[in-house]
């Protein structure tokens, strides 16, 4: 690829955090260098790496000093994903920001597609795409076969495509689908000033749900555009952060803490949308301690499905729901959600 000089202020700041990952980081960086849109900077944030990933990152920065830089925390500390992305954001200069983890890759059109979309819609602050859960990389030595998405799962967003979505439409979609429509952090583009305005990432979420905090902060305040294109590959492997946290079981354990944060955020922001609160209460009831309404009743509610849970929550009501939470001494504010 022929190198082209960037402007003093790049259009897009790409932030890549890494904690080890020497096996994959070079491929991730190369996928940025291969972008058809060349007006970008790449900020590599070292979150306390102990393997050979740091020298690899430094090598790329030495070869491309005009567009690639490497940061680390004071004392080479490991502060987690959220703090590391925030460090990258503080150093970023671009109008837009994109995130790529060091074990994932982009297709060459990734930045161009999303930058064109957001440039054409100045009212939009967040552009999201589905991502591909990438498994073929481990199944073949043929590079063409490795990038073939046939037979692999695409994380469908379940949102209207090509429409400007007003808040809180996207946040409601995230909740009503049980969190399944949340895009991968590697597949979004956002206006940097708006990311900073909402507080970016919350350092209390070091690994799991750090991305969902970001998405809800953005989707509850700003307009979102969903695209159908797939330009981001999310690598599935045993060394990933999600795998180390226990995959699905880790998410189940961490989700109540995230939902607790979300309730406080909704109250702090003064959000009173009834459908959003109904979806939130349904999720809280699913992931709360099983003794909230009794183990048997919880299983019964789970068998009813989403529609049935909504009916139960409407029957219980938000005041009774919070009273039960206080009775069982669950971590929560005592504020009754709007209704």
Residue 217, C-beta contacts closer than 8 angstroms, at least 6 positions apart: 198, 199, 200, 265
- Do 73 and 27 belong to one domain? yes
DSSP 3-state of 60: helix
> Which of 183, 205, 239 delimits the end of a domain?
239
Q: Measured between alpha carbons, how far is 63 from 54 in angstroms, rounded to an integer?
A: 14
Cα Rg, the chain, nearest whole Å: 21
Does residue 334 fall inside a structural domain? no
Does residue 6 fall inside a structural domain? no
Q: Is the pLDDT of residue 329 over 60?
A: no
List, for residues 57-114, the tens digit of each pLDDT value: 999 999 999 999 999 999 999 999 999 999 999 999 999 999 999 999 999 999 999 9
Q: Measured between alpha carbons, how far is 179 from 192 in angstroms, rounded to an integer?
A: 25
List, for residues 208-240, the tens digit of each pLDDT value: 899 999 999 999 999 999 999 999 999 985 664
Domain of residue 92, CATH code: 3.90.550.10
Q: Is the pLDDT of residue 337 over 50?
A: no
Binning pLDDT at 50, 70 and 90, where does residue 117 land? very high
- Do 124 and 221 belong to one domain? yes
Mean of the pLDDT values across residues 315-322? 49
**Domain span holding position 21:** 12-239
Structure confidence at residue 141 (pLDDT): 67
Instruction: Give me the number of domains the chain comprises.
Output: 2
Answer yes or no: are the C-beta atoms of 98 and 184 closer than 8 Å: no
Binning pLDDT at 50, 70 and 90, where does residue 151 land? low
Least confident of 85-99, 136-150, 268-282: 136-150
Instruction: Report the mean per-residue pLDDT for the chain.
Output: 82
Q: Measured between alpha carbons, how far is 296 from 302 in angstroms, rounded to an integer?
A: 10
Q: Measured between alpha carbons, how far is 220 from 203 in angstroms, rounded to an integer?
A: 19
- Kind plus residue range of the DSSP H or E element containing 134: strand 132-134
* Helix boundaries (H) for the chain: 25-33, 53-63, 81-91, 110-119, 143-146, 169-176, 192-197, 210-219, 241-244, 247-268, 274-287, 295-316, 318-327
- Do 229 and 259 belong to one domain? no
Binning pLDDT at 50, 70 and 90, where does residue 315 land? low
């Amino acid at each position: 690829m022929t190198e082209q000089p960037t402007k003093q202020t790049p259009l897009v700041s790409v932030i890549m955090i890494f904690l080890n990952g020497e096996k994959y980081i070079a491929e991730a960086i190369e996928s940025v260098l291969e972008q058809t849109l060349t007006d970008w900077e790449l900020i590599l944030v070292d979150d306390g790496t102990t393997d050979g990933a740091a020298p690899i990152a430094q090598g790329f920065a030495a070869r491309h000093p005009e567009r690639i830089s490497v940061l680390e925390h004071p004392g080479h500390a490991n502060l987690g994903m959220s703090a590391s992305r925030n460090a990258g954001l503080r150093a970023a200069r671009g109008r837009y920001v994109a995130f790529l983890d060091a074990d994932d890759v982009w297709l060459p059109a990734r930045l161009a597609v999303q930058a064109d979309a957001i440039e054409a819609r100045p009212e939009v602050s967040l552009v999201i795409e589905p991502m591909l859960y990438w498994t073929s990389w481990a199944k073949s030595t043929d590079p063409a076969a490795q990038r073939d998405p046939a037979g692999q799962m695409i994380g469908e967003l379940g949102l209207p495509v090509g429409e400007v979505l007003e808040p809180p439409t996207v946040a409601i979609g995230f909740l009503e689908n049980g969190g399944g429509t949340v895009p991968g952090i590697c597949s979004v583009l956002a206006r940097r000033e708006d990311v900073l305005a909402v507080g970016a990432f919350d350092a209390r979420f070091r690994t799991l749900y750090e991305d969902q905090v970001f998405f809800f902060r953005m989707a509850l305040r700003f307009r979102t555009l969903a695209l159908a294109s797939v330009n981001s590959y999310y690598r599935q492997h045993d060394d990933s952060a999600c795998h180390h946290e226990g995959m699905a079981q880790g998410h189940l354990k961490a989700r109540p803490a995230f939902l607790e944060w979300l309730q406080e955020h909704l109250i702090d922001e003064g959000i009173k949308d009834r459908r959003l609160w109904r979806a939130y209460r349904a999720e809280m009831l699913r992931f709360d301690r099983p003794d909230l309404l009794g183990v048997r009743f919880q299983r019964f509610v789970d068998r009813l499905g989403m529609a049935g849970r909504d009916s139960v929550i409407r029957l219980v009501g938000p005041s009774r729901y919070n009273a039960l939470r206080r009775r069982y001494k669950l971590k929560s504010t005592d504020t009754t959600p709007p209704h």
